[in-house]
Amino acid sequence: MNSFKVQYTIDGEDFSVAGEASRKLKKVLQSLGVDPQIIRKATVAMYEGEINMVIHADGGVIDAEITPEKIHLFLRDKGPGIPDIALAMTEGFSTASDNVRELGFGAGMGLPNMEKYTDYMNIITEIGVGTTIEMIVNTSLS
């Protein structure tokens, strides 16, 4: 397997399709024969990030690159940015509205889950400009 790249556009307006890109990546990884445990880690992390792009930003773009060694994810949005990353990373911290909570999100567990399931995560954010989250899940060494 050489390097494989896919890009997904995330619609920030339509919550009902939030998570579809992660489902698609899961199918791609399955077709490439990636280990199921690794697929779960990578797609759960991407799913949390994808949902965040819909509920906290206005959608965006996700780039995934799959190599024999790793799954590399870039999630970019042009949302409001994250004022305090350390606070946002705290389990239970959430600014989600009641509407979002009624949809089953807003536990404040998304970013901690993303960190837990990935081997590397980096957040670059600027208020009023947007947020880019880079995540890596290693595939060869587990």
Partner 1 sequence: MKLKKVVELLDANILNDCYSQDTEVLSACGCDLMSDVLAFVKDQALLLTGLVNPQVVRTAEMMDMKAIVFVRGKTPGEEIIELANEAGIAVLSTEHPLYHSCGVLYSEGLYK
Ligand X SMILES: Nc1ncnc2c1ncn2[C@@H]1O[C@H](COP(=O)(O)OP(=O)(O)OP(=O)(O)O)[C@@H](O)[C@H]1O
Range 110-139, binding ligand X (CB under 6 A): 110-112, 131
| Residue 66 · residue 3 · CB < 8 Å | yes
Q: What is the torsion angle, in degrees rounded to the nearest 10, for the CA atoms of residue 100, residue 13, residue 40 and residue 93?
A: -30
Q: Which residues contact 141 (CB under 8 A, 6 or more apart)?
A: none
The conformation of residue 131, written as its DSSP 8-state character, comes to E
* Structural element, H or E, at residue 20: helix 20-31
According to the binding rule CB under 8 A, does residue 56 interact with partner 1?
A: no
Binding mask 64-103 for partner 1 (x = CB under 8 A): ---------------------------------------x
Minimum CB–partner distance for residue 48 and partner 1 (Å): 6
Q: How many CA atoms lie within 13 A of 108 on its CB side?
A: 12
Tell which one of 43, 52, 125, 131 touches Mg ion (CB under 5 A).
52
Question: How far apart are the C-alpha atoms of 44 and 110, rounded to whole Å?
Answer: 9
Single out the segment in contact with partner 1 by CB under 8 A; choices: 18-26, 58-66, 72-80, 123-131: 18-26
Binding mask 27-56 for ligand X (x = CB under 6 A): ---------------------x---xx--x
Q: Which residues form the interface with partner 1 (CB under 8 A)?
A: 16-20, 22-23, 26, 36, 40, 43-44, 47-48, 51, 103-110, 112-113, 116
